[in-house]
């Protein structure tokens, strides 16, 4: 399950996984963010805020996650991985080869600095 908050005034989506990721989570995220992207053209930032990586519920969830990234990565300027998870902390080094967004890792307790970075313009 993923909780999310769209900070419309800043153009930032904050996602917080609460358990293993499911296919319906990515459908829900798309329905929440797609109208904003259609109206504004992009998200200024995406924050993934997770103490640890919860994994995927099943293979369908994994595929749904990949599809969400494929369909949205070109519409996100920056991604902040705010986590103490070893898996998520290496995300910036791996994902930079596949997505256009600028990606940066922050420690889990550094959420405010991550939000400030996402809010800044280049």
Name the residue among 48, 14, 55 with its Cα closest to residue 33: 14
Tell me the pairing of strands 76-83 and 102-106. Answer: parallel
Contacts of 7 (CB under 8 A, 6+ apart): 13, 14
Q: Which residue has the higher pLDDT, 105 or 96?
A: 105
pLDDT (average), residues 44-52:
91
- CA gap 18, 103 in Å, rounded: 22
Residue 69: band (very low, low, confident or very high) from pLDDT cuts 50, 70, 90: confident
pLDDT (average), residues 43-65:
90
pTM greater than 0.75: yes
């Amino acid at each position: 399950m993923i909780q999310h908050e769209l900070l419309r005034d800043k153009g930032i989506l904050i996602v917080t996984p609460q358990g293993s990721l499911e296919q319906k989570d990515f459908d829900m995220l798309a329905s929440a963010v797609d109208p904003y992207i259609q109206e504004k053209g992009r998200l200024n930032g995406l924050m993934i805020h997770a103490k640890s990586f919860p994994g995927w519920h099943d293979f369908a969830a994994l595929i749904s996650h990949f599809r969400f990234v494929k369909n949205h990565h070109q519409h996100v300027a920056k991604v902040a991985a705010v986590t103490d998870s070893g898996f998520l902390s290496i995300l910036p080094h791996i994902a930079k080869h596949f997505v256009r967004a600028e990606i940066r890792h922050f420690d889990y307790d550094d959420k405010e600095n991550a939000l400030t970075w996402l809010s800044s313009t280049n």
